[in-house]
Copies of this chain bind each other. A is one copy, B any other.
């Protein structure tokens, strides 16, 4: 186990009806003028926004609504938010939704009190010293942004999608998590979230750091439960217990708990980002294709953790089988699980046409340099091979 630091100061307020506590959570922290940052008008139509504004009003808090944040939130929307926040003398942001409004609110929180250009913080031209505080009402689990100090913003003018990490400033002060709010998610979005949160654990689980038995054991426990609950939700999308486990697992998968003391990987995420950058597919859908292909590539090159994964997570009975057979069965079980969720594990099927692998590899090279990942350090030729495995996958 490597040395580590672990700090998750966000207060998680979890359970039925907790969106009504937004006002008191803000008031306890001294908020007086709040900007509510959200995405589509779904929360206007389903009454959630009203419940939240009622709660704020009840707590004596003034607010401004700022909707329309799109998936992959843009720098343009952050600029616009900053302008409104300054004009309205906002002192607290409340993001309502999934990763997109949360990440946009984080950009605004940095930019509103900075006299220069907030984008400087994303491209590394400046370092922030402070940010306005942020609260969250989570309606789509998996991104993990509700408990992280990260923010990913896309600048459409400069064609850059950049992730920054300022945990001292950008971790939400509180995150309200009501599993009921996720019940209206279509099943495909639920499935994408499940694939994504499982991948957040894989990126930490598949590591060569020795002596990580405790972390591995609870990571495996979380993975097994998320699989169980996802299969429940396929048949019973309003199952509160399953929604609650998936929502809490999404936070634990990405708040650092599953990575303490380990060298992490993150190759699969980077490989996937090229797919969703060039083709109009959801991040989770891309991961369902890339993760098994990455595992197949690693299977003979670094079998140890894949063997453990097959037995402890994918429930492979090792009796009478050699290592290769155990691993192959584990990967096959994972693919079958994705198929059970209605997802494809074939790259061509995913993008609906012949994907341009050379274009993706060239872009990957620009973005990450000559090598990628740690469990098996990948050359760009290796990455090309993984895309090809995904192209031929069942």
Contacts and interface: CB of A to CB of B under 8 A. Distances in A.
**Contact residues on A (Cβ < 8 Å of other chain), bracket:** 35 or more
B221 A225 contact: no
A183 interface: no
Nearest to A171: B9
Interface in A6-41: 6-18
Contact of A1 (B213, B226, B241, B261): B241
A279 to B, nearest CB: 33
A6 to B, nearest CB: 5
Interface stretch (A116-124, A242-250, A326-334): A242-250
A358 to B, nearest CB: 42
A278 interface: no
Given A217-B225, A248-B214, A4 B14 contact: yes
A213 B240 contact: no
A14 B225 CA distance: 28
Interface string A184-216: 000000000000000000000000001101110
Contacts of A213: 225, 228-229, 241, 245
Contact of A11 (B5, B214, B220): B5
A297 B360 CA distance: 63
17 contacts: A1-B15, A1-B240, A3-B15, A3-B18, A5-B14, A6-B12, A7-B12, A210-B241, A213-B225, A213-B228, A214-B221, A214-B222, A214-B248, A215-B248, A217-B222, A218-B222, A220-B221
Given A6-B12, A214-B245, 5 more contacts: A5-B13, A6-B14, A214-B249, A215-B248, A218-B218
